[in-house]
Structures are given as structure tokens and as C-alpha cells.
């Protein structure tokens, strides 16, 4: 399952952990309130993929290997192995805390908070068990230590501000207070307090910078390869050959009939050729799109940091569609909140093939981030005002003017499959956007076929295909 985080005013992020080898498939459907074609606006498919969407993968340590490495410090002698190990530990800790945050929002608030406190205490002992000696390792350890202390504190303070915190037992409250006091004393001993001083925005930006520095050694390197370039070149060459052959044929036919080439005829041929150059790009893109319909747009090779070892291959599809063009399963379960067949739907699909050797030492954290800034820029600032009486029962009371903020509602549907499941899982969120960013993001229930129903349907589909052929 994916867990969703709101990272900023414009950014949403989905996370999950990949533990098994095989093929992982993710389908993201963003149901927009807009009608017409996005390509005629400022947001093309390429702009959406490269500017508004970010799909990355990070290395995480495996719990079994982490237990063994506690007693073996030989890995700490070399860099970048040190940074990869400690970075994978840190992001495994963050992934676990995100899962506990999701559980705490549902029903298991006290148990999730107790496990989060225990997890933070254990990770603090593991991280601070030994201090490195190399300068590069010292810098990485310091950044990781500061970020962990801040992140654990933020998680606990957020939990303390929740509604259910007053109902938990006193022992857990005392444990949280003791942990926070220990972290303050530890920061004072290590001269970290200066990193936590300043305006809230400054502290947040500083910790975001530390996170990017910590992420670099464990972030899989991407090499993006655009697919379809050969098809596009062949279409362009074929159109040129066809038109030039037609012109040459016309000229030779006129010579055989002993007709002189008039200036008007040559000017007409030149005008047709100029029109061909004017429409060539649109014609080439249209024909190429028809020939490559249903095929991936990009292929991505994922490499291990520093050593450039190929770990996985990823294929990307992206398209703008309308509701009747979607698969039957998606249409059946989205008709209640997407009844308008003219609305545009952004469809993104990813297929990742993970080899078994990749997961021998690390698990993989998948991160899918959606930046809504360009979508928010499409919302025009509202100038309308609603006038009401301060006291509806008194017509002579003061008149109040309320500015109406224009907002757009989007529905985000994510359908994903994993090798260990063999069936698809769907999650849905309702996202409300304003001109200044995300106004609200709320998870919604979605009635999706159970694994048993999907298995029955797949068997029936195979039988239908067999009888058809």
C-alpha cells in the first residue's frame, strides 16, 4: 500500500517499500475538472512528466542484515559504503515512521505512538553507537544525526497535538517527555542547538537541505531514454520521399506531354511544398502517435549509486484521455465521482522489473511525487464577492463582503500490483487546489474488486479469449 504525505503547499508524495523480486506496476489517474485538450494549454504531456511528476527509488537496509551489521563495524572503514549503509538505515526508519503515522490516523493511535517511540529510541542507539573518523563520514554522520533528532521530535510533537493524545496512558506520555528532554541534552552536548534556532521557515529549509544531502548516496541514478525517436525519423523520411516523388512525377508527366513549365505552376508547387514544411511537425507527431499508440514513451535504467551497477529497468506510459477511453475496470469504479465524459484524465503508468539479486542486500523504497504548482497556476484569482448582513435578522446591520476563492477538485486514483500479491489494489484521494496551493487532501473509500473477484474475472476473461480464437 502507498502512504501519502503532504510535503509542501504544492507537493504530494506517495511512498511504499518493494521487498520482493518481480514486476511492479503502478497506474496513476488524475481526474481533472477541465474539459478539452491539455496539449492546447500550457501543460503538455512532456511538461507534466518532467516538471510535475517525480518517480524515484531509494535503497533501504534489510532488517535481517541490519541486525548482523550491528556487531560488525568493518563496513564503516570505507566510503561510500558507510554513507550507503547509514543512509539506507535512515530512510528505512522514515518509511517505518510514515507507516506508523498512517496507522495512527486510522484506529491504532496509542499502539502506533508507542511503537514509534520505541523505534526512535532504538534507532538513536544504533546511529550513535560509534563515531566515524574520516572527514567525509563525520560530515555525513553529523547531518544524519541532526536530521534524525529533528524528524523524531517533529513526529512526537505532531502526535502530542492530535486529539487522541489526551486519552493515552501516563506512562507513554512520560516516556515521550523523557525522550524529548534527552534529545535536547544531546543536542547541547554535541553543539547542535544552533541548527534548531531561527524562523520556522528557515529551520524547515535547512532540514530539507540535509535530507537532500543524506538522500544522494542512496538515490538510484536514472538514465532516461526516449522511445519512438526512430519511428519519428522514419515517418519524417517517408513523408519527404512521398511528397518529393509526387512532385517529380508531376514534372516528368508534363515534360512527356511537351508542356512548358509555367511560372504559375512552379509557384504553386513551391506553395504546396511550403505548406508541407509548415504542417510537417504536426503531421509527423500525429502519425508517430498513431503508430506508437499503447507503447511506452520512455525507458529508464536505474543504477546503484557510485558503482553504476544496473539494478532495474522501468518503462513509462503517459497520456491524456477521457472517461470512455479508460479500461473497463477503472470506468466501473469511477463513474460515481467522474460522471462527465468530456473531462480530461491524466493517465500515468509505470512498470518496474526488479531482479532477485537486487534485493539481497537492500529493499527499495519507491517514491512518487506530484507537484501541483502548474495546475494551481491555471486557477485564476477570484474577484467575485459575496455580500451578507452581519445579523441576518436585522436589515440595518453592517454589510460584510467575503471574497470568493476559486478552487478546483481533483480525484487521484492509484492502482498498483506487486509480485507477492498477484492482484491489483486501488487507493483514492480527493485533492482540492486553489491558486495558492493545495487546500485539502483527503483519503476516500473506494469499492474495488477483492482478490477472489479479480481471480474469477481473469479466468472468465481467459475463457472468452480462448473461444474467440
Mean of pLDDT values over 5-21: 86
Beta strands in 254-398 (DSSP E): 298-303, 310-321, 343-354, 362-371, 385-389
CA-CA distance, 348 to 49, in Å (whole number)? Answer: 9
Select from 340, 345, 336 the least CA-distant residue to 445.
336
196 or 131: whose pLDDT is higher?
196
Most confident of 387-391, 394-398, 409-413, 415-419: 409-413
Does position 412 have pLDDT exceeding 90, yes or no? Answer: yes
What pLDDT score was predicted for residue 71? 43
CA-CA distance, 282 to 228, in Å (whole number)? Answer: 15
What pLDDT score was predicted for residue 396? 81
What pLDDT score was predicted for residue 308? 83
* Packing angle of the helix pair 81-106, 109-127 (nearest 10 deg): 170
What pLDDT score was predicted for residue 203? 92
What pLDDT score was predicted for residue 278? 73
Length of the chain: 469
What pLDDT score was predicted for residue 449? 83
CA-CA distance, 273 to 267, in Å (whole number)? Answer: 10
Grid look-up 487507493 returns 427
| pLDDT tens figures, 70-81 | 444 444 445 678
What pLDDT score was predicted for residue 469? 39
Would you list the DSSP string of 9-61?
SSEEEEEEEE-SSEEEEEEEEEEEEEES-GGGTT--HHHIIIIIEEEEEEEEE
What pLDDT score was predicted for residue 184? 94
Would you list the DSSP string of 194-237?
GGG-S-HHHHHHHHHHHHHHHHGGGBPEEEEEES-HHHHHHHHH
Phi, psi of 387, rounded to the nearest 5 degrees: -100, 130
423 or 352: whose pLDDT is higher?
352
CA angle 348-221-133, nearest 5°?
140
Q: How confident is the model at residue 144 (pLDDT cuts 50, 70, 90)?
A: very high
Mean of pLDDT values over 265-282: 74
What pLDDT score was predicted for residue 189? 92
8 Å CB contact between 203 and 211: no
Rounded to the nearest integer, the mean pLDDT of the chain is 83
Phi, psi of 358, rounded to the nearest 5 degrees: -65, -35
Percentage of residues in the chain with pLDDT exceeding 70? 88
Does position 279 have pLDDT exceeding 80, yes or no? Answer: no
Exposed, middle or buried: residue 372 (CB in 10 Å: 0-12, 13-18, 19+)? buried
pTM of the predicted model, to two decimals?
0.77
What pLDDT score was predicted for residue 75? 47
Amino acid at each position: 500500500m502507498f502512504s501519502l504525505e503532504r510535503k509542501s503547499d504544492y507537493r504530494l508524495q506517495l511512498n511504499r517499500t518493494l521487498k520482493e523480486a518481480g514486476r511492479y506496476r503502478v497506474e496513476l489517474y488524475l481526474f481533472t475538472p477541465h474539459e478539452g485538450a491539455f496539449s492546447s494549454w500550457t501543460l503538455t504531456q512532456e511538461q507534466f512528466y518532467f516538471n510535475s511528476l517525480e518517480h524515484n527509488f531509494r535503497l533501504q537496509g534489510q532488517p535481517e542484515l541490519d541486525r548482523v551489521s550491528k556487531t560488525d563495524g568493518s563496513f564503516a572503514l570505507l566510503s561510500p559504503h558507510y554513507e550507503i549503509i547509514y543512509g539506507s538505515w535512515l530512510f528505512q526508519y522514515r518509511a517505518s515512521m510514515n507507516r506508523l503515522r498512517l496507522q495512527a490516523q486510522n484506529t491504532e493511535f496509542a499502539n502506533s505512538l508507542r511503537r514509534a517511540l520505541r523505534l526512535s529510541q532504538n534507532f538513536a542507539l544504533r546511529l550513535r553507537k560509534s563515531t566515524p573518523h574520516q572527514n567525509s563520514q563525520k560530515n555525513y554522520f553529523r547531518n544524519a544525526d541532526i536530521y534524525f533528532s529533528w524528524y523524531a521530535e517533529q513526529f512526537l510533537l505532531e502526535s502530542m497535538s492530535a486529539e487522541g493524545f489526551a486519552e493515552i496512558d501516563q506512562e507513554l506520555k512520560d516516556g515521550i517527555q523523557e525522550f524529548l528532554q534527552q534529545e535536547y541534552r544531546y543536542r547541547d552536548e554535541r553543539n547542535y542547538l544552533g541548527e534548531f534556532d531561527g524562523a520556522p521557515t528557515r529551520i524547515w529549509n535547512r532540514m530539507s537541505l540535509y535530507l537532500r544531502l543524506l538522500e544522494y548516496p542512496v538515490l538510484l541514478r536514472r538514465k532516461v531514454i526516449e522511445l519512438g525517436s526512430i519511428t519519428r525519423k522514419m515517418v519524417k523520411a517517408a513523408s519527404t520521399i512521398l511528397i518529393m516523388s509526387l512532385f517529380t512525377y508531376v514534372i516528368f508527366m508534363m515534360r512527356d506531354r511537351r508542356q512548358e513549365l509555367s511560372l504559375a505552376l512552379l509557384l504553386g508547387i513551391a506553395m504546396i511544398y511550403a505548406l508541407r514544411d509548415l504542417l510537417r511537425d504536426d503531421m509527423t507527431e500525429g502519425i508517430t502517435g498513431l503508430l506508437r499508440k499503447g507503447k511506452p514513451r520512455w525507458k529508464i535504467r536505474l543504477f546503484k549509486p557510485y558503482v553504476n551497477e544496473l539494478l532495474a529497468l522501468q518503462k513509462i506510459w503517459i497520456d491524456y484521455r477521457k472517461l470512455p477511453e479508460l479500461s473497463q475496470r477503472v470506468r466501473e469504479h469511477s463513474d460515481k465521482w467522474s460522471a462527465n465524459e468530456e473531462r480530461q484524465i491524466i493517465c500515468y503508468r509505470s512498470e518496474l522489473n526488479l531482479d532477485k539479486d537486487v534485493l539481497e542486500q537492500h529493499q527499495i523504497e519507491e517514491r512518487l511525487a506530484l507537484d501541483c504548482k502548474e495546475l494551481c497556476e491555471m486557477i485564476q484569482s477570484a474577484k467575485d464577492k459575496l455580500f451578507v448582513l452581519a445579523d441576518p435578522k436585522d436589515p440595518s446591520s453592517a454589510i460584510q463582503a467575503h471574497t470568493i476563492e476559486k478552487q478546483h477538485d481533483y480525484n487521484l486514483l492509484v492502482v498498483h500490483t506487486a509480485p507477492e500479491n498477484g492482484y491489483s489494489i486501488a487507493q483514492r484521494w480527493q485533492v482540492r487546489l486553489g491558486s495558492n496551493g493545495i487546500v485539502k487532501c483527503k483519503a476516500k473509500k473506494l469499492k474495488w474488486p477483492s482478490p477472489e473477484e479479480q481471480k474469477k474475472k481473469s479466468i472468465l476473461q481467459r475463457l472468452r479469449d480462448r473461444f474467440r480464437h
